[in-house]
Amino acid sequence: MVESRDGDASPNDVSDSASDLTRMTDADPQSLAAYYDKWAGSYDADLPKMGYDAPMRAAAIMQDQGVAPDAPILDAGCGTGLTGLELSKAGYRDITGIDISLESLQAAEAKGVYRHLKKRDMNKPLAFGDNGFGALQCIGTLTYVREVRKLFAEFCRVVKRGGIISFTQRADLYDGAFAKAIQATVRVGLWEQVSHSDPMPYLPNHQDFGDQKRVFYDVYRVK
């Protein structure tokens, strides 16, 4: 259920999948694929009602960091393609999307903004060659990855030296293992920090998120 705020989304406006979102935080990859498959048909209608603006912010980060319009960008956890759509509006034309949910990938394909779309579980090696991407973004997805340190190493492998890696993570899940994985990746010399935002609104009109669950926007540069 989503509470109404100042005339925003009323409880009946969003699908049951949207209401169930926080229940999925610790779900296994198979359950997540099934959940996002089921949500794929209504995800694009639900997210704006919940005040979701991360795709726009992420695209602005790519521009602010000077990522060239023709740079190959990996949208890791692309979902239904809202993130790719904003990259495309910002002028990016070589976007590859990966996600574990086939139905979401099909919705992403229908947007016509991705050069390649592949079904991938990001708990496994990424199955791309080294240094093939100029930049990478991972928006709203790291919550679900078990071995995030291994994934960060994979991100640094597939993005070329000097390339930008931009991701979000929920503020309530950031400290502890997640922050340690970031620091370990710094320590082994794979990336360096570019920026770490204040805690930002994520789904301001969702009853479980609102002001309680904000997100950080982090940017790292591959060394």
Ligand X SMILES: C[S@@+](CC[C@H](N)C(=O)[O-])C[C@H]1O[C@@H](n2cnc3c(N)ncnc32)[C@H](O)[C@@H]1O
Residue 57 or 186 with smaller CB distance to ligand X:
57
Using CA atoms, how far apart are residues 219 and 193, in angstroms rounded to an integer? 6
Residues that contact ligand X, how many (by CB under 6 A):
23
Please, how many CA atoms are within 13 Å of residue 33, restricted to the half-sphere of its CB? 14
Which residue matches tokens 């296994």? 28
Binding-site string for ligand X from residue 167 to residue 196, where x marks contact by CB under 6 A and - marks none: ------------------------------
Count of C-beta atoms within a 10 Å radius of residue 128 = 18
- Calpha distance 171→195 (Å, rounded): 15
Task: Give the x/- contact pattern for ligand X in 122-161, rule: CB under 6 A.
Answer: xx---------------xxx--xx----------------
For the bound state, the minimum distance from the C-beta of residue 42 to ligand X, rounded and expressed in Å, comes to: 13
Say whether residue 83 binds ligand X (CB under 6 A). yes
For 15-43, letters b (16+ CB in 10 Å) and e give bebbbebbeeeeeeeeebbebbbbbbeeb
Nearest-CB residue to ligand X? 79
Q: How far apart are CA 194 and CA 73, in angstroms?
A: 18
Among 78, 182, 190, 215, binds ligand X (CB under 6 A): 78
Binding flag, residue 41, ligand X (CB under 6 A): no
Interacting span for ligand X (CB under 6 A) from 9-17, 78-86, 182-190, 215-223: 78-86
Q: Which stretch binds ligand X (CB under 6 A): 73-81, 87-95, 156-164, 177-185?
A: 73-81
Site for ligand X in 88-127 (CB under 6 A): 99-101, 104, 120-123
Residues 6+ apart with CB under 8 A from 27: 35, 144
Shortest distance in whole angstroms from residue 2 CB to ligand X: 15
- 215-222/95-99 β-pairing: unpaired
Per-residue tokens: 170: 């929920």
Distance from C-alpha of 204 to C-alpha of 184, rounded to nearest angstrom:
32
> Residues 18-37 vs ligand X: string with x where CB under 6 A?
-----------x--x---x-
Q: What is the contact surface with ligand X in residues (CB under 6 A)?
A: 29, 32, 36, 54-55, 77-79, 82-83, 99-101, 104, 120-123, 139-141, 144-145
